[in-house]
Amino acid sequence: MSRKRTKQKKQQAIKMDGFRFPHQLLEELRQFQDQQHIQVPASSYAVLLTVLQQIHVERNSQGKVLEYNLAHWARTLHMAYSTMHAGREFLIRHGFLYEEILPSGMPAFVLRNYKEYTTPELTQGHELNYFIVPHTLFQTNIIAELVRTANPEAFELLFSLLNQFRHGVAKLRNTGELSFVEQTRNMSTLKEKLGKRAKAVREMLTLFEAIFEIELVGVQVRGKQLWVRQVKFRLKEECVKENTDEFEVQPLLAAFQENLLYILDGLKIRYKARDLFDIMISFKQEVVNVVKYIINEEGDPSYSYRDSWLETFFYSCLSRFEQHMKEQKEPFTFRTSIGAYFRTIFRRNLPHAVQQIPHPLIHDAKVLEYTAKEHIPKLHLLTM
């Protein structure tokens, strides 16, 4: 396993507050419609969004959701269960979604090709590309209304806008600059894409006002008719957040969880999404928060040494756990929870592991943490 890491890019100050929608998935849906001449129904887009949100909640990098409850989402979105069920059945019938029994015996819904969407090295020439769907979308009536009015084309417009906004938001320094990022659509284009007349387009746009600031450009009144030349869209502040993960550990933890899933499935251990979350939270609290101020040697301000050390430590603990499970003659049961069990493993092995970190890096990390937090560094307590 290679330990070499490239220098991390400068972190963006503002980011979309939501979950990932792989661009390749959107392309496959478009290709399906072009080749099969079948329109993906609005109810299926609604279900797809809830599945992607659930993948985000369960933090499952393989696109498998263990706790997906259609009735829950129907209540959350204020939609009929039968409508949601019909949307899910369409996705299953055409192969976008399927059910799988995990090695542990637990059922899971799986979004086809999700792992390929999010792991670019698996497919030659495929690049990791996604846009962010804001969580606040589920706090509006947009999804329910677009399904009620059978308006799948409006879902596609929404995805197109969010896809373009992601790049603009990445360049911002604070939320006050959101008004500088906008997308423009000609009314003629909207009428064609949505298959509606101008009045119906304007009515649909009123729904989008829950997450977008909308400005009508070139407005004219001709007789009793209102004419609009262009529509400008700007994201509302509810869709973004300040990027506070200054140490960029979330992508690292996501990569670690991928291997954790393989180990747990291989050992046929029954687990819930909450268990995975608890394990990674335990690792972040017990280990990452202790060594997060460690930077590279020779004045390099990046964290590649720290990340490589974390990788080595995590996989070492995982290997010990796997070996211990395989040595059990009787079925093993956790006294409390899987997360608590791993917390003990991390805590027990950490003191010895930090002794392998070069002393100059330990010293510099202590100084950085004390300067930033003005308290005794956790690393100091382990290396006294």
Report pLDDT for 11: 56
Choice between 105 and 70, residue whose per-residue pLDDT is larger: 70
Average pLDDT rounded to a whole number, residues 289-315: 84
Report pLDDT for 137: 93
Q: Beta partners for 357? A: none
Report pLDDT for 336: 64
Q: Are 68 and 51 in contact (CB under 8 A)?
A: yes
Q: Is the pLDDT of residue 68 over 80?
A: yes
Give the residue from 344, 343, 347 showing the smallest Cα distance to 381.
Answer: 347
Tens of pLDDT, residue by residue over 9-20, are: 455 667 889 999
Q: How far apart are CA 363 and CA 366, in angstroms?
A: 5
Report pLDDT for 7: 43
Q: Is the pLDDT of residue 147 over 50?
A: yes
- Which segment of 24-33, 64-73, 114-123, 235-244 scores lowest on mean pLDDT? 114-123
Residue type, 372: A
Q: Residue 381 — very low, low, confident or very high, per pLDDT cuts 50/70/90?
A: confident
Tens of pLDDT, residue by residue over 226-237, are: 889 999 999 988
Average pLDDT rounded to a whole number, residues 256-280: 83
Of all residues in the chain, the percent with pLDDT exceeding 70 is 90
Report pLDDT for 5: 43
Report pLDDT for 15: 82
Q: How far apart are CA 377 and CA 370, in angstroms?
A: 6
B/e letters for 290-320, b = 16+ CB within 10 Å, e = fewer, are bbbbbbbeeeeeebbbbbbbbbebbeebbee
Report pLDDT for 12: 62
- Which segment of 1-5, 57-61, 142-146, 268-272 scores lowest on mean pLDDT? 1-5
Tokens 């202590």, located at residue: 366
Tens of pLDDT, residue by residue over 176-234, are: 788 888 999 999 999 999 999 988 999 888 889 888 989 999 988 888 788 899 999 99
Q: Residue 1 — very low, low, confident or very high, per pLDDT cuts 50/70/90?
A: very low
Report pLDDT for 244: 57
Q: Is the pLDDT of residue 335 over 50?
A: yes
Q: Is the pLDDT of residue 289 over 60?
A: yes
How high is the mean pLDDT of the chain? 85
Report pLDDT for 98: 95
Tokens 């950490």, located at residue: 350
Residue 280, token pair as written in the block: 């990674």
Q: Are 277 and 250 in contact (CB under 8 A)?
A: no
Q: Residue 3 — very low, low, confident or very high, per pLDDT cuts 50/70/90?
A: very low
Residue 265: CB partners within 8 Å, gap ≥ 6? Answer: 102, 103, 104
Choice between 382 and 358, residue whose per-residue pLDDT is larger: 358
- Indicate the Cα dihedral angle 210, 212, 215, 216, nearest 10°: -70
Give the residue from 202, 236, 217, 227 showing the smallest Cα distance to 134.
Answer: 236
Choice between 176 and 157, residue whose per-residue pLDDT is larger: 157
Give the residue from 170, 171, 175, 246 showing the smallest Cα distance to 8.
Answer: 246
